[in-house]
Amino acid sequence: MLKAIILIGGPQKGTRFRPLSFEVPKPLFPVAGVPMLQHHIEACAQVPDMKEIILIGFYQPNDELNRFISSAQQEFKIPIRYLQEFAALGTGGGIYHFRDQILSGGPAAFFLMNADVCSEFPLQEMLRFHRQHGENHCGVLLGTTANRTQSLNYGCIVENHETNEVLHFVEKPSTFVSDIINCGIYLFTPDIFGHIGTVFQRNQQIYVYNNREELTNGKQMPEVIRLEQDIFTTLAGQKKLFVYKTQYFWSQIKSAGSAIYASRLYLKQYHQTHPERLATNQDGTPKIIGDVYIHPTANIDPSAVLGANVSIGKGVTIGGGVRVRESIVLHGAVLQDHCCVLNSIVGWDSTVGKWARVEGTPSDPNPNDPYAKIDSETLFRDGGLTPSITILGCNVNIPSEVIIRNSIVLPHKDLNRSFQNQIIL
């Protein structure tokens, strides 16, 4: 018997998703036509003997989340429930807080994954790898290869190349440690809770010793436990952790730019997993270039040109002569005649006027480096807004014949002129 735990976090602060996240929790943001979280759930549901999927986070339960859970349960025929943390408890604190629910029914092991990653999720391969390494270890980490420079932005794993044992683990090191990075996808046995409990007891002793000062600082709470810093660094070298290296795609989804990139990866995967989701060229339909997802309810003029890497949401209206490339257009948006949308996210119920141009700067990994990952974007650089994907929040109106380039437009804005490299509040 197996279970899967997906850490969905909570309301994000200071991220590039914030203009879009006012409407739905970040894990429900559509990537390649379906909520980001659905890709995780689909992969979990395909694992034999998977009995339950548990979502853990500190979002307040809302109608959007409840509808998604209900719909996913019906589609994938597996129990799914949401457990709300009383505060952000970290990657280890959340599962330790809900350990009784996770261990109910006596699962032999459970998958744990972060919601803000995209991957082919080689869960069944991880399970076989886990079983090949006997019963004495307590976890398998999914790893992938990054280049030397970008590896400093991730948790780095030093392995025994013969046994795949994790010998050393460092979270975001200041100097090069290893080109194998942590993917945020794990397979644990129930033994992991004993190691987390040891850290919790130590945190409690420190908490009491400090006379419970600085109570407002969440890091002082003994319940806050981080797997990466508090658990993996301790267990490395003790024959308790192993790393399974994937050759499939993997990327974090931390920004609008990485959402566009993740959409491209999933759309390409649809050729094998969901070819019915990909639009094709037919008489009386828009011209399709490359991989494109179009929701069945979208109304698109046959003279429009879409692709490559385009996702069109529910109820979208696209007029004649429109060009869309490397973009996500969310439900209810209207793209009027002859407008152009490139490297952008068009929010819910937004309107782009006739002959307008909405354009961003792509932030793709280096195509000449097979191990390159998408860079972590900084919002500002050299005193100005870093050129990146253009975001239109929900219910934004772009007038005709203007240009919006490399900008973030917060929700419910009616613009009256062109903007470049700005955040429109």
In this structure, are 220 and 281 located in the same domain? no
CA atoms of 107 and 50, how far apart (whole Å) = 9
**pLDDT, tens digit, 9 for 90 and up, residues 399-423:** 999 999 999 999 999 999 999 999 9
**pLDDT, tens digit, 9 for 90 and up, residues 335-379:** 999 999 999 999 999 999 999 999 999 988 888 888 888 876 667
Domain around 73: 2-252
Examine residue 333 and state whether it is found in any structural domain, yes or no: yes
Q: What are phi and psi of 90, to 5 degrees?
A: 85, 170
In this structure, are 240 and 283 located in the same domain? no
Please give the model's pTM, rounded to 2 decimal places. 0.92
CA 311 to centroid of chain Cα atoms: 16
pLDDT on residue 14? 45
Q: Is 78 left (phi over 0), alpha (psi -120 to 50) or beta?
A: beta
Examine residue 425 and state whether it is found in any structural domain, yes or no: no
How many domains in the chain? 2
In this structure, are 173 and 207 located in the same domain? yes
In this structure, are 225 and 139 located in the same domain? yes
In this structure, are 226 and 299 located in the same domain? no
Q: State the CATH number of the domain containing residue 356.
A: 2.160.10.10
pLDDT on residue 45? 97
* Terminal-residue alpha carbon distance, the chain: 50
Examine residue 269 and state whether it is found in any structural domain, yes or no: no
In this structure, are 248 and 281 located in the same domain? no
CA atoms of 236 and 167, how far apart (whole Å) = 5
In this structure, are 10 and 153 located in the same domain? yes
For residue 408, what are the β-bridge partners? 391, 423
**Residue given tokens 């803000």 in the structure block:** 116
Q: State the CATH number of the domain containing residue 201.
A: 3.90.550.10
Q: Which ranges constitute the DSSP H helices of 248-405?
A: 256-273
**Count of CA atoms in the C-beta half-sphere (13 A) of 358:** 38
pLDDT on residue 402? 97
In this structure, are 130 and 211 located in the same domain? yes
pLDDT tens digits, the chain, 425 residues: what are they? 999 999 998 875 544 444 444 567 889 999 999 999 999 999 999 999 999 999 999 998 888 999 999 999 999 999 999 999 998 999 999 999 999 999 999 999 999 999 999 999 999 999 999 999 887 899 999 999 999 999 999 999 999 999 999 999 999 999 999 999 999 999 999 999 999 999 999 888 877 766 555 544 444 688 899 999 999 999 999 999 999 999 999 999 988 889 999 999 999 999 999 999 999 999 999 999 999 999 999 999 999 999 999 999 999 999 999 999 999 999 999 999 999 999 999 999 999 999 999 999 998 888 888 888 887 666 776 667 778 899 999 999 999 999 999 999 999 999 999 999 999 98
For residue 306, what are the β-bridge partners? 288, 324
CA atoms of 123 and 117, how far apart (whole Å) = 14
